[in-house]
């Protein structure tokens, strides 16, 4: 566990768009902890110096794009999920002074996707994307006892490297269309949907019992979630995962669970 953090930050570049400060500051207020969660916009070339300074301040916090992979080498100790994903999204200074790196995206995805699908064993999963979010998904899915995982990414070697790195039992496919009628869980881990892009996959091709989990979140929900729900499918966007990964980070920093309702109420309405 963390020693009492001297400072709480989000390291990224850019970071201005992040919902984490509103969410974490609501949790800090609800817990009566006199700290503020601050944005730290740090260009990649300044990351090492920034982390040195944060060590001196016994800081804790989160890490976002583009620093999650680089942070691995700057920590003294890594948790299992950070090692398995090759990415750090949460860090703290331990009582012995060591900087510890963790990846709460793994359990954040796990909790919110389990809430969506209920029974996990035997699922036939299609994962779209091969970046940091997809890595957290694959590591979590290793615990699920799924029947099959197919991974589609526009940069195919990235998908192969991801599977090798996470040790997941999964198949890289070069076209998602043929598997759509068979799968029982579609997971979008690409940023498609963040703006008014086309759908990452056509929900009309999915079975009635296929659940759809979109890691992307935005005000008004994503086009994928809306289209899948219009077909009567069970859906979740990335807000639940965002809250869970943030709540788990809070637990690592302070040793107590945050008030998740307070965190939710600091986020924009879904619709
Ligand atoms: P990332 O590391 O940059 O990876 C993005 C992946 O999507 C890569 O495979 C990339 O392919 C692919 N991609 C990007 N643009 C694409 C396009 N137009 N068409 C097809 N594929 C495309 O990003 P990430 O960290 O995994 O994040 C992905 C999304 O998940 C983001 O929207 C992020 O906000 C979201 N996310 C949400 C949570 C949460 O808590 N809800 C957590 C993590 C991530 P290339 O390699 O070819 O570029």
pLDDT tens digit sequence for 132-162? 999 999 999 999 999 999 999 999 999 999 9
* Mean pLDDT confidence for 48-75: 97
Known catalytic membership, residue 142:
no
Binding-site residues, ligand 1, Cβ < 6 A: 65, 105, 108, 129-134, 153-155, 158, 189-192, 194, 215-217, 238, 241-242, 245
pLDDT > 60? residue 19: yes
205 DSSP assignment? G
Of 246, 238, 244, 197, which is closest to residue 219 (Cα–Cα)? 238
pTM of the model: 0.96
Pocket test for ligand 1, best of 127, 191, 222, 242 (most atoms within 8 A of CB): 191
User: Exactly one of 7, 58, 68, 218 is catalytic; which is it?
Assistant: 68
Pocket test for ligand 1, best of 103, 215, 237, 267 (most atoms within 8 A of CB): 215
How many other C-beta atoms are found inside a 10 Å radius of the C-beta of residue 220? Answer: 11
Atom of ligand 1 nearest to the CA of 194: 32
* Mean pLDDT confidence for 237-259: 97
pLDDT > 70? residue 66: yes
pLDDT tens digit sequence for 183-235? 999 999 999 988 876 899 999 999 999 999 999 998 888 999 999 999 999 99
């Amino acid at each position: 566990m963390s020693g009492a953090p001297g400072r709480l930050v989000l390291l990224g570049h850019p970071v201005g768009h992040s919902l984490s400060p509103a969410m974490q500051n609501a949790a800090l207020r609800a817990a009566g902890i006199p700290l503020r969660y601050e944005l730290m916009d740090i260009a990649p070339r300044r990351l090492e110096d920034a982390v040195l300074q944060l060590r001196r301040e016994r800081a804790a916090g989160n890490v976002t794009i583009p620093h999650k992979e680089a942070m691995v080498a700057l920590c003294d100790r890594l948790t299992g999920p950070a090692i398995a994903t090759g990415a750090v999204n949460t860090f703290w200074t331990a009582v012995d002074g060591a900087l510890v790196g963790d990846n709460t995206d793994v359990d954040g995805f796990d909790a919110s996707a389990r809430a969506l699908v209920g029974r996990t064993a035997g699922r036939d999963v299609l994962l779209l994307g091969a970046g940091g979010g997809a890595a957290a998904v694959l590591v979590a899915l290793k615990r699920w006892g799924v029947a099959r995982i197919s991974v589609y990414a526009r940069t195919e070697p990235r998908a192969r490297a991801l599977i090798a790195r996470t040790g997941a039992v999964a198949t890289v496919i070069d076209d998602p269309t043929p598997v759509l009628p068979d799968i029982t869980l579609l997971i979008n881990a690409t940023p498609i949907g963040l703006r008014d892009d086309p759908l990452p996959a056509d929900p009309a091709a999915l079975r009635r019992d296929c659940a759809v989990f979109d890691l992307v979140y935005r005000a008004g929900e994503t086009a994928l979630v809306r289209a899948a729900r219009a077909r009567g499918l069970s859906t979740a966007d990335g807000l639940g995962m965002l809250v869970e990964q943030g709540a788990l980070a809070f637990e690592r920093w302070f040793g107590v669970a945050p008030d998740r309702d307070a965190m939710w109420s600091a986020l924009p309405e879904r619709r």
